[in-house]
Structure 1
Amino acid sequence: MTQNSWPGAHGGDWGGAPQWGGRVPQAPQPGVIPLRPLALGDIIGGSFATLRRHWKPVVGVVMAVQALVLPVMALVVGIAAAAVYEHLDPAFDPPYGEDPASEHVVPVVVASVIVFVLLLVIGMLAMAVIAALCPAVLKEAVTGRPTTFRAMWRGSFRRAPAVAGAMFLGALIAGSPVIAAMAVWVPLVAAVDSRDGAFVLLGILPVLLLAALPLAVWLNVRFSLASAVVVLEGAGPVTALRRSVALVRGDWWRIFGITILGALLAGAISWVIQLPFNVIGVFAMIPAMMGMPQDGSGPSAGLITGLVVSFLLMLIGGAVSQVFQIGFSQLVSALLYVDQRMRREGLAEAILADLAAGQAATVITEPAPPASPQPDGPLDGRG
């Protein structure tokens, strides 16, 4: 008899070996995935099925986030540009043969740094909302429950700060090898006086990065389930990182491979989605460009209309493709979290028990106790 690790492996229940030559029973599937340890096809197919069944709340929340974030980013850039406007021309176009004065360069540099930090924070918060959205949608998709835009919007925003914290800490720790390599290389370059010495050190940089990148990738995969832990278990950032490490331990290569495959698949499909919009946008602009006046007069109304239509088509294509790419990648990661818990903590059996008791909402959202290898509750871990 085969030795399976999911519920029912040693009896005549679903997922186990057939008894006396009988057919293997199918695993129960109340939602988008069968309730058993997942194969690659289950994870990829479950991600597609979740997007297909719950595309309205996913698209709605992502579009709402973009509608809030893009104007805020534009406002930040506009305020900064207005604040240093009088310094821009002297800093970037000084008189011939003269260096720009420090009283013009310093304000531009300071404004650029502030804008970069603010845009980074805003972008991370927006990404955190989307990263919180996908596990929340998946929780309902796994148990076969319906979703609404309002519930997903509120749930995503409520967990976004903790998700952002986990993402920031994970990126900081995973990026520390690269930061350490740069911290070694930059002082060496600054200490070298000759151009030949600096050129030699420039060749050393790829070696340092090649040594640091494998460790950075290893750490990044170990923390890859943290967002799902934050949303589905209500954990804080540090607890989520530790829990992700525990879930990934022993299955690093499998999770790494499926994550990479999911990212490549999402990127390829998003490119295919965006391509028609870009092609139509370019062709929409060609007639207007051919009719552009040659007498030096201003642009015609047709040219302006063509440019606007082309820009809008490319913008729509980029937005649609980005929704799919981000959403699909996050769903793959969340399904890997569910899969690890079904393999290690009896999550499938707990989900079925909660569904039978009419309590499916609590099963996926309770963290597992440290001393208990098989929690009573499903998707939350605590039971």
Structure 2
Amino acid sequence: MTQNTGWGPAGGQGPGGPGAGWGGAPQWGAWEPQAPQPGVIPLRPLNLAEILGGTFATIRRHWKQLVGVMLAVQAITLPVMALAVAIAVASVFGHFEPVFDPPFGEDPTAEDVVPLLVAGAVLLVVLAVIGVLATAVLASLCPAVLREAVMGRPTTFRAMWRAAVRRAPAVAGATLLSILIAGAPVFAVLAVWIPLLVATVSEDNAPLLVGLLPVLLLVAGPVAVWLGIRFSLAPAAVVMEGADPVTALRRSAALVRGDWWRIFGVTLVAGMVAGAVSWVIQLPFQIIGMIGMVPASAGVEDGSDAAPAGLIAAVGFAVVAMVVGGVASQTFQIAFTQLAGGMLYVDQRIRREGLADAILAEVGAPAPAAAPTAPAAPTAPPRPEGPEGPGGS
């Protein structure tokens, strides 16, 4: 299957310019034809129910590709993280005992503490980079799948894997930039508050500074949320338009402008739905794990010889069940929130840039019929001219 870079920022405009055709909202009293629907959503401005319904429909139709790529990412990421931890621990293993179990009456020396701190810092950076790249692959996957779902085209694991991996670095860059920009107000508050607290920790006004932090965060928090929503469509712009991180942030800001509250509300509801469904997915696994531990726990209370082995097996079974449930719920939550964000991007492009016309042209579907025009009012026949000219007396 041929994969395109995405719908260009200006290529989705119809003949009438931005908002023409199916890109704009229908006027009151105007005749509105049935919107074409080659994929999971009708190609017209969407409401909340249609955005959520389209997100569920995308997961239902393309769950194999979504789950397959997500499991492949985790199958690669988790062993690499475990290897990084093992290498870090092995490199400073000889320093653990002098630091955490020094001889009686002696303090750990800098020769033992510094290597542990350096190894911990390096390990933290490595794990963060791996985690960001893995998250970027998942964030790239969902818009790629959504693009095909909107056009009603089938997907394959190989095509989605290539699309997700190819755009992952740009998505990671856009995500990091949006986090830095959106978090700048909070970072600025902490950068001022922490040195002040350290400088006055031994003075009487330290409790006042501790109580001042929530007040400052109440001011910085809304600004951070506003910026976060403003740049929330950047991953979709990276994947569907092939944009670089900076261009994607600008595109997101342009698409959100004037519709911030609506996008904030839909994003909030989508997050709540994703959290609720993921909890429902995880709950049976937790119950199964807890039920599996009941016989072993009863054996421990009875004092039977097989109790330790049974308890170990039960704990292992419970851990496996909870891990499987956690992976399943996390997979759904990531997929749903990312797909909902991509659905908002498509909706905004349809509303503002006539993206529906570009989609119909790409899938080869006929354009929607134009709205019928009202018949012209009959005109009065011309009055005959008298001998003295028109309207002669």
d(CA) in 2 for partners of 1:76, 1:289: 36
Deviations 1:300-348 (A, max 9, x none): 4333322222111111111110110000000000000000100110011
Closer/same/farther in 2, CA of residues 199 and 87 from structure 1, 3 Å limit:
farther
Alignment partner of 2:209 out of 198, 201, 212: 201
Aligned to 2:192: 184
**Displacement after TM superposition at 1:194 (Å):** 2.2
Q: Which amino acid aligns with 2:175?
A: M
Kept in 2: contact 1:7–1:15 (CA 8 A): no
Alignment partner of 1:109 out of 117, 127, 132: 117
- For normalisation by structure 2, the TM-score amounts to 0.83
Kept in 1: contact 2:271–2:337 (CA 8 A): yes
* Unaligned 5+ runs, structure 2: 1-18, 367-393
Aligned to 1:155: 163
Secondary structure at the residue paired with 2:204?
helix
Could you tell me the percent identity over the aligned residues?
Answer: 61
Aligned to 1:33: 41
Alignment partner of 1:7 out of 2, 21, 36: 21
d(CA) in 2 for partners of 1:78, 1:268: 36
Aligned to 2:328: 320
Q: Find out whether 1:68 has 2:76 as its counterpart.
A: yes
Deviations 1:22-50 (A, max 9, x none): 7x532111100000011111110000000
Q: Which amino acid aligns with 2:69?
A: V
- For normalisation by structure 1, the TM-score amounts to 0.85
Moved more, 61-70 or 204-213: 204-213
Aligned to 1:376: none
Kept in 2: contact 1:8–1:16 (CA 8 A): no
Alignment partner of 1:238 out of 225, 239, 246: 246
Q: Find out whether 1:122 has 2:136 as its counterpart.
A: no
Alignment of 1:279-290 (within 5 A): 279-290=287-298
d(CA) in 1 for partners of 2:201, 2:336: 50
Closer/same/farther in 2, CA of residues 16 and 108 from structure 1, 3 Å limit:
same
d(CA) in 2 for partners of 1:8, 1:71: 48
Q: Find out whether 1:255 has 2:263 as its counterpart.
A: yes
- Give the structure with higher Rg (CA): 2
d(CA) in 2 for partners of 1:259, 1:152: 24
Alignment partner of 2:178 out of 170, 175, 199: 170
Kept in 1: contact 2:62–2:145 (CA 8 A): yes
Aligned to 1:380: none
Moved more, 255-264 or 189-198: 189-198
Q: Find out whether 1:133 has 2:141 as its counterpart.
A: yes
Aligned to 1:365: none
**Displacement after TM superposition at 1:197 (Å):** 2.5
**RCO higher in 1 or 2 (8 Å CA, sep ≥ 6)?**
2
Closer/same/farther in 2, CA of residues 32 and 357 from structure 1, 3 Å limit:
closer
d(CA) in 2 for partners of 1:193, 1:140: 57
d(CA) in 2 for partners of 1:122, 1:63: 15
Q: Which amino acid aligns with 1:237?
A: P
Kept in 2: contact 1:281–1:313 (CA 8 A): yes
Kept in 2: contact 1:6–1:15 (CA 8 A): no
Deviations 1:229-274 (A, max 9, x none): 1100011111111111111111111111111111111011101100
d(CA) in 2 for partners of 1:109, 1:210: 34
Alignment partner of 1:89 out of 91, 97, 102: 97
Q: Which amino acid aligns with 2:200?
A: V
Aligned to 2:341: 333
Q: Which amino acid aligns with 2:179?
A: A
Closer/same/farther in 2, CA of residues 98 and 192 from structure 1, 3 Å limit:
farther
Kept in 1: contact 2:56–2:336 (CA 8 A): yes
Count of residue pairs brought into register by the alignment: 349
**Displacement after TM superposition at 1:202 (Å):** 1.3
